[in-house]
Structure 1
Amino acid sequence: MPPTNTYMDFDHIRREFKETLKVAFKNDNITLLENKVASFKNTELDIKTPLDQAFRDLLLDLLTEEVQVTVLKMFVDLSIKTCRMGLTSPTMPVVLLGDIFDTLTLDICQDLFSFVEDNVHIWKEELFFAGCKNNLLRLCNDLLRRLSRTTATVFCGKILLFLARFFPFSERSGLNIVSEFNLENTTEYGTDTSDDIVAEIVTGDQKHVIDFSFYCKFWQLQDFFRNPNQCYDKVQWKVFCSHSMNILSTFHGIKLDYLKDSEQTSNVGYFAKYLTSQKLLDLQLHDVSFRRSVLLQFLIVFQYLTSSVKFKSDSFELKPDQKEWIQTSTEKVYSLLRETPPDGANFAKIIKNILKREELWNSWKNDGCPEIKKFLPQNDPVEIPKAKKTEPLVGDLIKAARNEGKFYMGSKELTKLWNKNPINLEACKGKDFLPTMDEFFGEAIAQFESGVPVKDEDNLLKDGHFGWRALRLLARRSPYFFSLNTQNHPLPKYLELMVHKMAHEKPGRNDENSQEATNEQEIEENILTEAEDQNTEDFHKPSEEFVEENNTSRQETKNISDERLLLIIEKIAPDWEKLGTKLGYKSDEIEWFKNENPIRFDQARHMMKLWFEDDEDANLDNLLYILEGLEMNEAAEAVRSELNTTES
């Protein structure tokens, strides 16, 4: 055992850890490693660092010996155990996996990746998730870059499915936040007219010519499918409509006959991208999988063009005639899908349900991709349920009411109202449903005559529900309802005036007293004057909601210190034009910013100042969301730091 309280050389400790780790791994005895770590507790070095390096050194020795994949899995399992015991860093297992994948061939990597998939529950543990998520993402991306998307589709799919299981829905690294298209996915096809091949397809009385012109139109549509935003241009829209109608008409004319052959259905292949040779187009038009793929592309583009996407430009909006054309074409595509065997009707129904689900995901992204949390039921103590009173069955209640010549409507109040008069029209004409003036306004008159101040929440005259019923009753039974223009006075003041009149006309009042009549007239004039003043004040005074909303919006920008705001603008300045485009500024406005300020920092500061002042959605949260989508990481980090400072 080395002496305590002495400085130990890093390499010396690493070598000793490596020898102990080799023995512990060979004998499957982690206690040896634990005791060895305990012997170095009093050193000045962080023990985790040399032990982490010892793991990587021993792994390198194992890889040079060309051990089996099973041995490598056991070694990673050992590192997971040491992490849970606090002996090594939480990132150690994933670091080892990264070293293994960088060293082995793709065939062995595919076998080893099943270990990563099976242990996804371990990587999602609190101990590992925060430290390992970036390393796992880097590991998967490195594998995807090494793989071919056309020949290794299964392995690529496993990697993507693992990432979908590992990361939560709200993880920004897995989301296309700004709704950008993969413009690099181009489709190349022949443009040499000398190779023109003309084929004729006769179906019934119709003849379809598959020539070079049709071939070019067909594959040119792939460019619109790659970048649907071209359709918002007038010229490109006409080209898209013309080519689409030509292709859909050809599909409609060429009917497919599907042969139920066990040999054909057992070997269904998947092609990441179809071949574009003109010699194959005639055969492709008769292929079920090919036709369904093209028709599905049409539906996806149609849905995008008519959907509301947050990051679409304001100019990307279809006119009514364009929307009508898309609706008609969508119905035609679904009709073609239903006609395409096998089981076309069921296939079209499934596609429609899938696209409806896509609308929900689109709405979720428009809302800023809020985190989706699953609330698990809490384990509350089990209570012994009390014996419930046996309630009579509905059928028995109906039968009992029928024996009494009544109706049972399911609730006490409905049953009471219905049995007063089962004939609806006669019930509406009856007077039983209309209260008297004294009954309805009795409590309001008592509040008015008491002279004691009443809180707004207890004042019946300021209750909207009471006011609505009061106006309906006054219209039926009050002689003063049409003597005043209710639109010129707030409802509470108008009701106060009416209550005052009813209180004045109560029996027992001496109406012949001129002094009292004069006082009553003065009170009425004061009420009307206050109502007019209130109208004028309300007209010139903004609503409380408006003031509160503006104060909140301004407070969000005032909370930003000048020093921090300048730091954020400094990070934005190198790419402020890209940010300005996403914020909605047009090209001429961006040029105006440049002409007004010769320095890029001043240009960015001018733009951000106007955005905070003019845009209702201008706040740090939205700015962070946009910067992350544009991958302006330094600026996003500055905004995130400011948000954390404000919250703390």
Structure 2
Amino acid sequence: MCSFEVMRSELLESVKNSFESSNTDILRKKYDTFKVNENDKRSALDQVLRDYLLQLLAEPSGDVSIWETYVTFCIEACRQDMCTPTMPVVLLGDIFDALTFDRCETLFAFVENGVNTWKEEMFFSACKNNLLRMCNDLLRRLSRSQNTVFCGRILLFLAKFFPFSERSGLNIVSEFNLDNLTEFGGETSSDLKDILAEKDEQMEEDSKPDTKIQIDYNLYCKFWALQDFFRNPNQCYSKVHWKTFSAHASNVLLAFKSFKLDDMQVKRQKLDTSDEDRQQQQQQQHYFAKFLTNQKLLELQLSDANFRRYVLLQFLIVFQYLNSPVKFKSDTHELKPDQAEWVREKTEMVFSLLEETPPDGVAFVQTVKHILKREEHWNSWKNDGCPEFQKPAHLLAADETGEEGGDKRKYLPRPRRPKKRLGEQMRDITQHGKFVMGNAELTKLWNLCPNNLEACKSKDRDFLPSLEGYFEEAIEQIDPAAMVEEEYKRVNDGNFGWRALRLMARRSPHFFTHSNNPINKLPEYLETMIKKIAKDRPSMLSSEDAKAELMDNDVQTMVPDTEAEDDELLKSEEKEERTMPQEYEDERMGAEKRDSKKSVLLKEHLEAIAFKVAPHWKKLATKLGYQADEVEFFENELKTEVEQALNMLQIWAEDDDDASPENLSYTLEGLGLIEAAETLKEAAELMHVR
């Protein structure tokens, strides 16, 4: 039995020799010599790999390729099941922690090129959390404004590595970045004033742009105040905020329209620069993470084509959101007809301004329209719960004629007859006195007995047992010849006694007979009643048989002999369903599938999660569509948070048509209440099993 330190020292030398010779067989031979538990050997090798990495990082050469080769060596060791699958990513995290930004950017190319390796079944499930943590640590170290390209590479890698349906990368509940505040105000800033003064001294007289618009403080405040609406567009659904937003937006767009940019400056630059320099300038991308909000800069910013495009694009994004159906929008978040018409007019105006903004305004507008159209598809995908992407099946088959280059004929569905008109269906239903539920199985079930009261009297719905069957064992036990001890008799069982009283109230005439003897204990009373029932057994059997025969005759006379009419009606309905157009048939099947999957939200489900969501029930109530006054009503009605949460959930379950464990669990996951969502799922599964 080798100790951990002995294995660590011996494996360190083997790792060094194996890495220098690029041969894992040396490490494998040494690894197999230890006759200990596999987990102990892996733990020792994991520590040795990190120890040797520290030696490589301490070398003065600092060659990134050596570290990349070492991580590749570790990946090969993982594939041979000598170390844990998370070790390559752990080593990469240690390397990134010890390097500067420049070397981190160089090493990250190795991570990007190895995305197929990280997606392998062996590494994906084990390393995905470590990779996400490593990338987040890098993003926290980097500056979004100074290291923009590197940050973008990290985000692109995460987008390639994780599937689209990965919950950690989705804004499920459509929350906004409310922390992105834009501060403005104040006439001037002393530091900025000095900078502008120096720039004015260096600027030549002929290079000063002509002033085409007067920037006053009122327009300046309206312009930058719009950023608060761009940050949180839900404010626009409020009547007061809508007036402010529409007034500010109209004034700003009119200012843009009156202060158009011409293409003279662009043409002058083309004449002054060569083709190669112009191509390099076009390829160079400039990105400004945050614009300055000083009043003196607004005139210069409005003269910048990129700045104008940024602002106009913000208008388009907000306009599209206001009219888009979002799953987590409140019912009150809907534009009125006059507001929707205003949005449509301003959208056309923004597109017109973008077309007039050089350079390549028309091409830029076409690109923006294409992007916004794709955004509608992404919005629909999120409304459907972010399902996984799957390749669609081939719906149409092609048949070759046998000749080379011959035509291919597609098998098209046969033409179908149109569905019967509603008036004709209602006439047939009235003539037959039947119900048509829109589905063959439901129609058949509903017409088994059109009279609901008679159906309730059916023998099939009589679930009570007979007196003889229920008390058979108890009757045998009260017989002295059976010699059953008192404690083992059925009459001493509380559950048996409770059911016996209910059964006798429905079936036994002795239950309501007046007696002068007081009832001391339930077992004694049951023994008395059982003795009376035992005496009546012969008459009871004959009366029950007669009653059963009578009920059978009633059932036969209850349902009219109209089987031929039922079959004819069902056949005609099934024929209509078969001749229904394909789109209606698909819609019906989808609705049936959704109805079959939809489950009911019971009180047990709500009680199971009330304790979990109690500290956050107000946030949950807001997401479920309740207004501030309604939340205050829930809060004042009951005292404790658990009671308030349970009361709110019960009212929501009764009022909302879409209330189900699945939808509530989806909302809880979006709010980060994972524990409550898991509890709800377990409760729903338990109730389903029951």
TM superposition score normalised by structure 2: 0.65
Correspondences of 1:145-160 after superposition (within 5 Å): 145-160=140-155
Describe the superposition over 1:84-107 as per-residue Cα deviations: whole angstroms up to 9, x where unpaired.
111111111111111111121111
Correspondences of 1:9-24 after superposition (within 5 Å): 9-24=3-18
Matched, 1:629 2:670: yes
Matched, 1:181 2:163: no
Q: Distance in 2 between matches of 1:212 and 1:470?
A: 67
Amino acid at match of 1:314: D
Structure 2 residue aligned with 1:226: 231
Q: Distance in 2 between matches of 1:189 and 1:142?
A: 32
Structure 2 residue aligned with 1:47: 41
Describe the superposition over 1:509-531 as per-residue Cα deviations: whole angstroms up to 9, x where unpaired.
xxxxxxxxxxxxxxxx998xx99
Q: Distance in 2 between matches of 1:156 and 1:362?
A: 25
Structure 1 residue aligned with 2:296: 279
Structure 2 residue aligned with 1:388: 402
Cα distance, 1:571 vs structure 2: 2.1
Describe the superposition over 1:591-648 as per-residue Cα deviations: whole angstroms up to 9, x where unpaired.
3433443232333333334444443323332223212211123323434555777899
Deviates further, 566-575 or 248-257:
566-575
Q: Distance in 1 between matches of 2:75 and 2:287?
A: 38
Structure 1 residue aligned with 2:89: 94
Q: Distance in 2 between matches of 1:120 and 1:238?
A: 50
Amino acid at match of 1:57: D
- SS of aligned partner of 2:350: helix
Change (3 A) 1:565 1:9: farther
Structure 2 residue aligned with 1:618: 659
Cα distance, 1:392 vs structure 2: 11
CA contact (8 A) 2:189 2:294 kept: no
Correspondences of 1:112-191 after superposition (within 5 Å): 112-191=107-186
Cα distance, 1:120 vs structure 2: 0.5
Describe the superposition over 1:521-572 as per-residue Cα deviations: whole angstroms up to 9, x where unpaired.
xxxx998xx99xx9xxxxxxxxx99x999996895546x9x5x865533322
Matched, 1:362 2:362: no
Which segments of 5 or more consecutive residues in structure 1 lack a partner in the other structure? 1-5, 198-205, 378-384, 395-409, 415-462, 473-483, 495-524, 535-543
Structure 1 residue aligned with 2:77: 82
Give % identity. 51
Q: Distance in 2 between matches of 1:194 and 1:175?
A: 40
Q: Which has the higher contact order (CA 8 A, sep 6+)?
A: 2
Amino acid at match of 1:348: V
Matched, 1:341 2:355: no
- SS of aligned partner of 1:162: helix
Deviates further, 116-125 or 608-617:
608-617
CA contact (8 A) 1:230 1:236 kept: yes
Cα distance, 1:586 vs structure 2: 3.0
Cα distance, 1:144 vs structure 2: 0.8
Structure 1 residue aligned with 2:546: none
Change (3 A) 1:338 1:247: same
* Partner residue of 2:59 out of 45, 58, 65: 65
Cα distance, 1:155 vs structure 2: 0.3
CA contact (8 A) 1:553 1:619 kept: no
CA contact (8 A) 1:189 1:219 kept: yes
Change (3 A) 1:283 1:305: same
Q: Distance in 2 between matches of 1:632 and 1:71?
A: 44
Change (3 A) 1:389 1:491: farther
Q: Distance in 2 between matches of 1:25 and 1:579?
A: 55
Matched, 1:583 2:583: no
Q: Distance in 2 between matches of 1:392 and 1:642?
A: 61
- SS of aligned partner of 1:208: coil
Structure 1 residue aligned with 2:50: 56
Describe the superposition over 1:436-484 as per-residue Cα deviations: whole angstroms up to 9, x where unpaired.
xxxxxxxxxxxxxxxxxxxxxxxxxxx9979779979xxxxxxxxxxx9
Matched, 1:209 2:214: yes
Change (3 A) 1:225 1:588: closer
Change (3 A) 1:315 1:487: same
Amino acid at match of 2:186: T
Q: Distance in 1 between matches of 2:332 and 2:423?
A: 50
Structure 2 residue aligned with 1:247: 252
- SS of aligned partner of 2:226: helix
CA contact (8 A) 1:10 1:45 kept: no
Q: Distance in 2 between matches of 1:147 and 1:226?
A: 24
CA contact (8 A) 1:467 1:492 kept: no
Q: Distance in 1 between matches of 2:633 and 2:619?
A: 15
Amino acid at match of 1:162: F
Q: Distance in 1 between matches of 2:58 and 2:435?
A: 92
* Partner residue of 1:330 out of 347, 356, 364: 347
Amino acid at match of 2:98: T
Structure 2 residue aligned with 1:479: none
- SS of aligned partner of 2:363: helix
Cα distance, 1:147 vs structure 2: 0.8
Q: Distance in 1 between matches of 2:362 and 2:624?
A: 44
Q: Distance in 2 between matches of 1:29 and 1:526?
A: 87
TM superposition score normalised by structure 1: 0.69
Matched, 1:600 2:641: yes
* Partner residue of 1:294 out of 300, 311, 327: 311
Amino acid at match of 1:295: L
Q: Distance in 2 between matches of 1:327 and 1:584?
A: 27
* Partner residue of 1:373 out of 390, 395, 417: 390
- SS of aligned partner of 1:336: helix
CA contact (8 A) 1:193 1:212 kept: no
CA contact (8 A) 2:608 2:683 kept: no
Q: Distance in 1 between matches of 2:324 and 2:592?
A: 33
CA contact (8 A) 2:609 2:679 kept: yes
Cα distance, 1:386 vs structure 2: 9.1
- SS of aligned partner of 1:143: helix
Change (3 A) 1:548 1:209: closer
Q: Distance in 1 between matches of 2:245 and 2:296?
A: 24
CA contact (8 A) 2:606 2:649 kept: no
- SS of aligned partner of 1:55: helix
Cα distance, 1:189 vs structure 2: 2.2
- SS of aligned partner of 1:110: helix
CA contact (8 A) 1:49 1:88 kept: yes
Q: Distance in 2 between matches of 1:469 and 1:182?
A: 51
Q: What's the RMSD between the two structures over aligned residues?
A: 4.1
Q: How many residues align?
A: 505
Change (3 A) 1:350 1:9: same
CA contact (8 A) 2:600 2:659 kept: no
- SS of aligned partner of 1:312: coil
Which segments of 5 or more consecutive residues in structure 2 lack a partner in the other structure? 197-210, 437-559, 570-587
Q: Distance in 2 between matches of 1:23 and 1:295?
A: 62
Q: Distance in 2 between matches of 1:133 and 1:390?
A: 50
* Partner residue of 1:350 out of 355, 358, 367: 367
Structure 1 residue aligned with 2:472: none
Cα distance, 1:319 vs structure 2: 0.9
CA contact (8 A) 2:212 2:259 kept: no
Cα distance, 1:69 vs structure 2: 1.0
